[in-house]
Amino acid sequence: MTAPQIAGRSDALVIGLVSLAHLLSHFYQVILGPLFPLLKVEFGVSYTALGFIISMFYGVSGVCQAFVGILVDRCGGDRLMLFGIVAMASAVLLMSFAPAYWVFLPLAVLAALGNCVFHPADLSILSAKVDPSRLGRAFGLHGFGGTCGYFLSPVVILGVASVAGWRAGLAFAAVLGLAAALLIFRHRHALAIPRQTTYERRENGDQSDIASYKGLITNGPLVSAFFYFALVAGALAGLQSFSVGAFVEIYSAPIYQAAAGITVYLGGVAVGILFGGELADRLRYPTAIACTSLTLAAIIMACIGWFDLSMTVNIGLLAIIGFCSGVSQPSRDILVKSAAPAGASGKTFGFVYSGLDFGGAIGPIAFGWLMDGGHHRWVFLGTALLFAISVITVLQLSKGSRQ
């Protein structure tokens, strides 16, 4: 067997295991939402109280993710990734036995501690272990796995809950994660990063973590990347939370038809990520790909908000917008990797990806304020504006990549 064939098989194993871990992280992120109506009745609490569980989860995850990259660079992404899966699955398993509402709060913190490791760990492993010629496709499949997690979570949890109850649904979901952790542990040798590659101390003069992190937060292109993730996450949070209500208010559309919009959007994202990964590897112009696709997404989204269109047309346009948004993601990750200081990929990915949690926490509040004020079209116009601003952040990020 030739060396390229062996390398290709090794890359495929690494990409598959890391994408599986990313799928599980997204799977567990949204696992409680579909159960809220059942939990509300079970524990006699309000939706606001249930929403606080999610806010606590993302708040803790966002704060920790900004700094967990230090541990990834020191301990290796493979160990942290396994910890993340086991922590989230264990938290969900314990939730299935929860006797009261308050028990969910500390378990949400445990799940957040697991969730915060994935982006810095996953992307550090891919950056170190996958051949550069396949890196765009690696990042694409990684993102595709996360999107599939969003899709599968409500299907699995509601499917089991409808037959055996919500506790059985959570327990079944937890067992799936623990089984996947065993599979990844069995092949952990493929994910291990040599100490010299992780630290790269000789090249970096044994720079301290504090000094290294100061360098990140004063690095203009990487700060731009943080704001990029915050903007895109805020846009997605607004669409997921309020696009259905906006369509109902604007067009008096039936809920099932209004909900189809966000469904096809996420489907478009999944397909776009795969296409974008292939495109990034073949063309090698990540800035042009990311900026063009995001600009198209912004223009089409503005059309939905500005013009009176039929719901069929709106749903079709949302699928195209999702595709354009997905195409940009592998190229974006390549730019972040290229701008990362040597030996600090974990800290870099941890810092910039914490913007996702920041945007996910702020976005629903801002878009909810617009909805309460009767500005329903601004759900789409505001999302278009966020996409347009994100193009500027990509241009700033590309400067760091060139340097």
Count of domains observed in the chain: 2
144 is a domain residue: yes
Rounded Cα–Cα distance for residues 343 and 197 (Å): 7
206 is a domain residue: no
Residues 237 and 163 in one domain: no
pLDDT tens, residue by residue, 357-373: 788 777 777 887 888 88
Residues 124 and 187 in one domain: yes
201 is a domain residue: no
CATH number at residue 53: 1.20.1250.20
Mean pLDDT of 246-264: 83
pLDDT tens, residue by residue, 289-345: 999 999 999 999 999 999 999 999 999 999 999 999 999 988 888 888 777 776 666
Residues 101 and 133 in one domain: yes
pLDDT value for 371 = 81
Pick from 167, 196, 225: which residue ends a domain? 196
| pLDDT score of 175 more than 80 | yes
202 is a domain residue: no
128 is a domain residue: yes
Residues 294 and 190 in one domain: no
Pick from 161, 196, 231: which residue ends a domain? 196
pLDDT value for 50 = 80
Q: What is the mean pLDDT of the chain?
A: 84
pLDDT value for 102 = 93
Residues 178 and 56 in one domain: yes
Sequence-distant (6+) residues with CB within 8 A of 65 are 115, 116, 117, 119, 120, 350, 353, 354, 357
Higher pLDDT residue, 389 or 59? Answer: 389
- This prediction has a pTM of 0.75
Rounded Cα–Cα distance for residues 175 and 165 (Å): 16
Residues 280 and 364 in one domain: yes
| pLDDT score of 173 more than 60 | yes
Residues 186 and 219 in one domain: no
Phi-psi region of 262 (alpha: psi -120 to 50; beta: other; left: phi over 0): alpha
- 31 phi/psi in degrees, rounded to 5: -75, -30
Mean pLDDT of 131-144: 85
Rounded Cα–Cα distance for residues 105 and 44 (Å): 16
Residues 77 and 223 in one domain: no
Mean pLDDT of 188-216: 60
207 is a domain residue: no
Are the beta carbons of 27 and 149 closer than 8 angstroms? yes
203 is a domain residue: no
| pLDDT score of 68 more than 60 | yes
Are the beta carbons of 235 and 383 closer than 8 angstroms? yes
Residue 184: domain span? 3-196
As a three-state string, the secondary structure of the chain is: CCHHHHHHHHHHHHHHHHHHHHHHHHHHHCCCHHHHHHHHHHHCCCHHHHHHHHHHHHHHHHHHHHHHHHHHHHHCHHHHHHHHHHHHHHHHHHHCCCCCHHHHHHHHHHHHHHHCCHHHHHHHHHHHHCCHHHHHHHHHHHHHHHHHHHHHHHHHHHHHHHHHCHHHHHHHHHHHHHHHHHHHHHCHHHCCCCHHHHHCHHHHCCCCHHHHHHHHHCCHHHHHHHHHHHHHHHHHHHHHHHHHHHHHHHHCCCHHHHHHHHHHHHHHHHHHHHHHHHHHHHHCCHHHHHHHHHHHHHHHHHHHHHCCCCHHHHHHHHHHHHHHHHHHHHHHHHHHHHHCCCCCHHHHHHHHHHHHHHHHHHHHHHHHHHHHCCCCCHHHHHHHHHHHHHHHHHHHHHHHHHC
Token output for 374: 């009767």
Token output for 131: 């051949």
Cβ density class 71-88: b for 16+ within 10 Å, e for less: bbbeebbbbbbbbbbbbb
Helix axes 77-95, 47-75, angle to 10 degrees: 160
pLDDT tens, residue by residue, 222-233: 888 889 988 988
Residues 236 and 156 in one domain: no
For the purposes of burial, counting CB atoms within 10 Å of the CB of 134, is it exposed (0-12), middle (13-18) or buried (19 or more)?
Answer: buried
Sequence-distant (6+) residues with CB within 8 A of 317 are 300, 301, 303, 304, 309
Cβ density class 374-402: b for 16+ within 10 Å, e for less: eebbbbbbbbbbbbbbbbebbebbbebbe
| pLDDT score of 215 more than 90 | no
The letter for the amino acid at 90 is S
314 is a domain residue: yes
Pick from 162, 196, 230: which residue ends a domain? 196
pLDDT tens, residue by residue, 72-114: 777 777 888 899 999 999 999 999 999 999 999 999 999 999 9
Residues 35 and 121 in one domain: yes
pLDDT value for 211 = 65
Residues 186 and 99 in one domain: yes
Cβ neighbours around 182 below 10 Å, total: 12
Residues 350 and 383 in one domain: yes
Rounded Cα–Cα distance for residues 356 and 354 (Å): 5
